[in-house]
Amino acid sequence: MTTAPGLRQLLGLPSAAKRRRYREIGSALTRHGMGVLTNQLGLGWLVPFQWGLFGHPRRKEPYSTGEHLRMALEDLGTTAIKLGQIASARPDIVPPQISIELEKLRDRVPPVPAEAIVQIIEQELGCPLDEVFADFDRVPLAAASIGQVHAAVLVDGTQVVVKVRKPGVAETVAADLAILADLARRAAQSERLRGRYDFETLADEFAWTLRSELDYVREGQNADRLREILADEPRVVIPEIHWRYTTGAVLVMERIEGTRISDVIKDENRREALGKELARTSAEVLMKQVFDAGFFHADPHPGNFLVMDDGRIALLDFGMVGELDEEMSRALLRLLRAIVRQDPNSVADCLDRIGVLRLPSDRDAVRREARHLIQQYHGLSVDEFAITDYLNDVMAVVRRHELQLPSDLALVLKTVAMSEGLWRQLDPHFNAVRTAEPFVKSATLRMYGPRVFADRARDLGSEILDLGTHLPGQVRRIATRLDRGEFELALRHRDLDETIDRLSGMVSRISTAIVAAALILGLPSLAAIHEPPGWHLIAPVWFFVGSAVAAGLILRLIWAGRKKNRR
């Protein structure tokens, strides 16, 4: 039986493509989820997935939970890979051991044939390839889940790199995002899950981030904005965007020659010669972005930094950026000041003001954890203090209490933690706290200086003047409505829906108990009083079926009661 497309949409039934994708997701999660489940139960040693069971690559060492999850995302393709990459930047949700595995999802995608890439370029630019490029290298420099990069030379001789979105990626991502939104909506409706995290908000944030990465115009705008922020920083280079040849699916930018910073780290001689200066430069550049501009490069992967021959650092890949508005920047500064003052009450207040704490019990628990954490780091000198270790401990508290940080705040904390790891690889004695100190002081003076208070006082005075102008008329209108009897008072019970659900469940269980009791007591009575013809033949079957139904109802009643007690 087939269902017409219009009727299928009317009934809310998934399309054939969507059902097929659900099956693919179910297959991958089942295959790799068995490994996750056995690890969670402590039985990972009992099921040797590393022998090649269920299609896993063969090796000697057992697979960890993070590896099973990473392989499942790799099997599911572009959207799942990006989901893993973005999730690795949420230390408030993802534990470090899994985050480390998810970070390995980068640069593991085979390239698309050059013919398909050329076809996309010609479609986007509306002309043959040789009218734009004098030379186009058909062997890609790099390939990722969304696009791949080729070296080229413009007709005027300018050396560029061309980043092209892979064919079919946008359509695949759109379909997967619809499925993700559906799953998030179902998770939000689950009584067991909805109190943990705001799944629908997380899905919306992920969808927005991924759609932004699909749009190469936005990535070019991110590069221009960072270049403007760092215009007075001679130690950093941001490649120029050739807007004439840039579209939503094609990005043409200046080609910069240099050595990846990861290769500098591996070369002991170059690391000794350049490491300290590179660490200081990259740290100061990030602090300037975060504290001075509130807009920062949020993908501090070693492959996204080039060291040029003159010692300057070039930033690459501007698809993932973070932005802190004025209120979130103030919240970050307040949190840093509370940590420096070693004041657990202020730490809890800061988290409460940004909406992290949902219940009064959260506040008390976080205050206790903050006090223990401050005692743990009390007495350490600035040189002994490591930001990464401290942030990891803070995120462990957040995860333990199932709190959810604002996405921008979580991203900046993850970016700083990842960057400090890179800085310490360049210079083992590097201290990020000392580097950040002048930027924090400057930002604090800028946000809490006399001019700011003067501006706020002026704005407050204007609001009070407006209020004084409009308030008498509003009071007069309310009084008139009261006098005419037109004023209505609406009351809303805070937990009315939950109360109704509980009453409905009680009624359902009572009804079930009555039916079960009627079957248990009524069947023997009927058998003893009424004996219709042939009753002796059907009585055993009827009695057995009735008893089974009654037993099933009783078991259902017991199960519902136990489930309610667990909640």
Q: Where are the domains of the chain?
A: 13-105, 109-255, 257-448, 500-566
Cα separation, 320 vs 212, in Å, equals 8
Nearest Cα to Cα of residue 266 among 276, 256, 275, 279: 275
Nearest Cα to Cα of residue 404 among 202, 171, 149: 202
Cα separation, 254 vs 544, in Å, equals 82
Residue owning tokens 């390239």: 111
Contact 197, 402 (CB under 8 A): yes
pLDDT band at 159 (very low <50, low <70, confident <90, very high): very high
Give 3-state DSSP helix, strand, coil % of the chain, rounded to 5.
Answer: 65, 10, 25
User: What is the pLDDT, as a whole number, of residue 36?
Assistant: 56
Q: Across 283-412, where does the E strand assignment appear?
A: 295-297, 305-307, 313-315, 321-323
Say whether pLDDT at 396 is over 70.
yes
Nearest Cα to Cα of residue 170 among 243, 105, 85, 79: 79
User: What is the pLDDT, as a whole number, of residue 337?
Assistant: 75
The CA R_g of the chain, rounded to the nearest whole Å, is 31
Contact 279, 268 (CB under 8 A): no
- Burial state string for 261-288 with b = 16 or more CB within 10 A and e = fewer than 16: beebbeeeeebeebbbebbbbbbbbbbb
Long-range Cβ contact pairs of 80-83 (< 8 A, separation 24 or more): 80/176, 81/105, 81/108, 81/109, 81/145, 82/145, 82/146, 82/173, 82/210, 82/213, 83/180, 83/206, 83/210
pLDDT tens-digit readout, 337-352: 777 667 777 777 777 7
pLDDT tens-digit readout, 95-125: 877 888 887 776 556 788 999 999 999 999 9
CB atoms near residue 485 (< 10 Å): 7
- Secondary structure (3-state) at 134: strand
Contact 338, 347 (CB under 8 A): yes
Nearest Cα to Cα of residue 78 among 52, 114, 31, 110: 110
Cα separation, 279 vs 327, in Å, equals 30
pLDDT band at 217 (very low <50, low <70, confident <90, very high): very high
Percent of the chain surpassing pLDDT 90:
22
Contact 147, 164 (CB under 8 A): yes
Say whether pLDDT at 544 is over 90.
no
- Burial state string for 346-359 with b = 16 or more CB within 10 A and e = fewer than 16: bbbbbbbebebbee
Nearest Cα to Cα of residue 394 among 421, 418, 420, 366: 366
Token representation of residue 121: 């370029």
The average pLDDT across 382-405 equals: 75
Strands 250-254 and 159-165 turn out to be antiparallel
- Chain centroid to Cα 41, Å, comes to 26
DSSP class of residue 403 equals -
Give me the active site residues, please.
299
- Secondary structure (3-state) at 153: strand
Greatest CA separation for the chain: 106
Say whether pLDDT at 380 is over 80.
no
DSSP 229-255: HTTT-TTEE-PPB-GGG--SSEEEEE-
User: What is the pLDDT, as a whole number, of residue 511?
Assistant: 62
User: What is the pLDDT, as a whole number, of residue 550?
Assistant: 63
| Residue-averaged pLDDT of the chain | 77
Assign residue 242 a region (left: φ > 0; alpha: ψ between -120 and 50; beta: otherwise).
beta
Contact 321, 296 (CB under 8 A): yes
Residue owning tokens 């379909």: 175
Question: H helices then E strands: how many in the chain?
Answer: 20, 11
pLDDT band at 7 (very low <50, low <70, confident <90, very high): very low
Q: What is the pTM assigned to this prediction?
A: 0.70
Say whether pLDDT at 493 is over 80.
no
Contact 300, 419 (CB under 8 A): yes
SS (H, E, C) 445-501: HHHHCHHHHHHHHHHHHHHHHHHHHHHHHHHHHHHHHHHHCCCCCCCCCCCHHHHHH
User: What is the pLDDT, as a whole number, of residue 93?
Assistant: 75
Residue 450 or 313, more confident: 313
Residue owning tokens 């998770």: 187
The average pLDDT across 198-204 equals: 79
